[in-house]
Amino acid sequence: MKDKMHILFVSQYFYPEVFKGNDIVFDFVKKGHQVTVLTGKPNYPKGKFFEGYSFFNKKEEIIYGAKIIRTPIFPRGNGRGLSIILNYLSFVFFSYFTCLFRIREKYDLIFVQQLSPVTMALPGLWIKRRQKIPLYLWVLDLWPESLVANSNFKSGVIIGIIEKLVKKIYNASDIILISSKYFRKAILDRCDDKNKKIVYFPNWAEDVFTNPKKATAQIPQMPKGFNIVFAGNVGDSQDFESVLKAAELTRNLPINWLIIGDGRALSWIRSEIETKKLDRIYVLGAFPLETMPIFFSKADAMLVSLKDIPIFALTVPAKVQAYLASGKVILGMLNGEGNILINESKTGIAVNSGDYRALAEASTKLVNLEPSKIRIMEENSINYYNEHFAKEKLFNQLESLFLT
């Protein structure tokens, strides 16, 4: 492989949508590599096209030195039912013609950022077959497990078809990168070649957490007491039912539970707070990413939670890296890899998914810890992040993998 590469990056999602692959593309451009991106028209997460984009316009553009080839797509709308199905299928359908008529350059390799849906990897397979070049698949979401966990599709013909498609994609990939070590077995079980090369390539924290600028934005006043802050998507998967039960058990202690973010569960949470008079739970709403380091700096501990669903035990929520990079104590209620990471790294306390009593006990333990022990946990967080998740280190490893 030559020192300077021409890379085709494939993903349904790309800048101005906020996904980790953006960092990879722009970093490789800075390193002097030529990068072309095959993607859709930006519409995530609000379900409508970003300002300046439509179904027909902006077929190609240059962003920070990367060439972007955009394929038409139906926006995801409310992210449910027919809207999301059309969104997923339209990217694959229109990308076929994009690959056929608009992909003219020769590439050295293809890198696919495989989120949901798994079908977004198909354009990469088509180009690989035509140009006979290596394909690197970065698996951030296991299918069909993810579909089963987040939809009404639990079994049957649809799941069977997707299972066959996933096997085809894995077998066609030359090297598979995984964001969670726990993905390895599930992937190898679907590969004909049981010696398929699988490389651990985890998430990292956004730059605002590793290089925070001087705080200028205004944020709401934080309540007095020990503040446990949740930041991110406020949905069903985060099991706020158990979080609120833990908050009920600690209502007579100086422990505040603050929720920053947006999602489907917000209205239910507000209703529960009012009904049960949970005056130590604060719903602050959504704020720009740039303000998060300010919130984090004023938090005593950061909360991460996931429901007791098998697929969730195989992943480490991306917010964990942000918490670690910010040098925060982490309070977790989740299973599997995330649980093990928090406890073994001694960066906080993690209990099992759904165990709200243990969560309440852990929060009580944290509020009673000596300041010196809290500082040790905070130092452990930064050290663990720098050792395992530092972006520069990960990107240099990825570049070396490509050049091998």
pLDDT in tens, the chain (404 residues): 568 999 999 999 999 998 999 999 999 999 999 999 999 999 998 899 999 999 999 899 999 999 999 999 999 998 888 999 999 999 999 999 999 999 999 999 999 999 999 999 999 999 999 999 999 999 999 999 888 887 777 778 989 999 999 999 999 999 999 999 999 999 999 999 999 999 999 999 999 998 877 656 788 889 999 999 999 999 889 999 999 999 999 999 999 999 999 888 999 999 999 999 999 999 999 998 889 999 999 999 999 999 999 989 998 999 999 999 999 999 999 999 999 999 999 999 999 999 999 999 999 999 999 999 999 999 999 999 999 999 999 999 999 999 98
How high is the pLDDT of residue 302?
Answer: 98
C-beta atoms surrounding 231 within 10 Å: 23
Query: Do 134 and 271 share a domain, yes or no?
Result: no
- Name the amino acid, one letter, at 69: I
Please check whether residue 56 lies inside any domain of the structure: yes
C-beta atoms surrounding 221 within 10 Å: 7
Count the domains in the chain. 2
Angle at 303 between CA 299 and CA 306, to 5 degrees: 165
- Distances in Å between the Cα of 194 and the Cα atoms of 97, 178, 180, 380 are 34, 16, 18, 36
Please check whether residue 134 lies inside any domain of the structure: yes
Report the predicted TM-score, pTM, of the whole model to 2 decimal places: 0.90
Query: Do 185 and 266 share a domain, yes or no?
Result: no
Q: What is the CATH number of the domain that holds 312?
A: 3.40.50.2000
Query: Do 25 and 120 share a domain, yes or no?
Result: yes
The two tokens of residue 397 are 């490893």
- Domain range for 81: 6-204+390-403
Query: Do 195 and 139 share a domain, yes or no?
Result: yes
CA distance 282 to 239: 16
C-beta atoms surrounding 280 within 10 Å: 19
Please check whether residue 320 lies inside any domain of the structure: yes
Please check whether residue 323 lies inside any domain of the structure: yes
Please check whether residue 1 lies inside any domain of the structure: no
How high is the pLDDT of residue 215?
Answer: 59
Q: Are 244 and 281 in contact (CB under 8 A)?
A: yes
C-beta atoms surrounding 326 within 10 Å: 23
Query: Do 159 and 242 share a domain, yes or no?
Result: no
Query: Do 55 and 144 share a domain, yes or no?
Result: yes
How high is the pLDDT of residue 216?
Answer: 67
- Name the amino acid, one letter, at 207: D
How high is the pLDDT of residue 154?
Answer: 75
Query: Do 200 and 236 share a domain, yes or no?
Result: no
Query: Do 185 and 280 share a domain, yes or no?
Result: no
Query: Do 370 and 397 share a domain, yes or no?
Result: no
CA distance 379 to 231: 21
For the chain, give the secondary structure using H, E and C: CCCCCEEEEECCCCCCCCCHHHHHHHHHHHCCCEEEEEEECCCCCCCCCCCCCCCCCCCEEEECCEEEEEECCCCCCCCCHHHHHHHHHHHHHHHHHHHHHCCCCCCCEEEEEECCCHHHHHHHHHHHHHHCCCEEEEECCCCCHHHHHHCCCCCCHHHHHHHHHHHHHHHHCCEEEECCCCHHHHHHCCCCCCCCEEEECCCCCCHHHHCCCCCCCCCCCCCCCEEEEEECCCCHHHCHHHHHHHHHHCCCCCEEEEEECCCCCHHHHHHHHHHHCCCCEEEEECCCHHHHHHHHHCCCEEEEECCCCHHHHHCCCCHHHHHHHCCCCEEEECCHHHHHHHHHCCCEEEECCCCHHHHHHHHHHHHCCCHHHHHHHHHHHHHHHHHHCCHHHHHHHHHHHHHC
Query: Do 280 and 341 share a domain, yes or no?
Result: yes
Query: Do 215 and 230 share a domain, yes or no?
Result: yes
Query: Do 355 and 223 share a domain, yes or no?
Result: yes
Burial of 342 (0-12, 13-18, 19+ CB in 10 A): buried
Q: At what angle do helices 391-403 and 20-30 cross, to 10 degrees?
A: 70
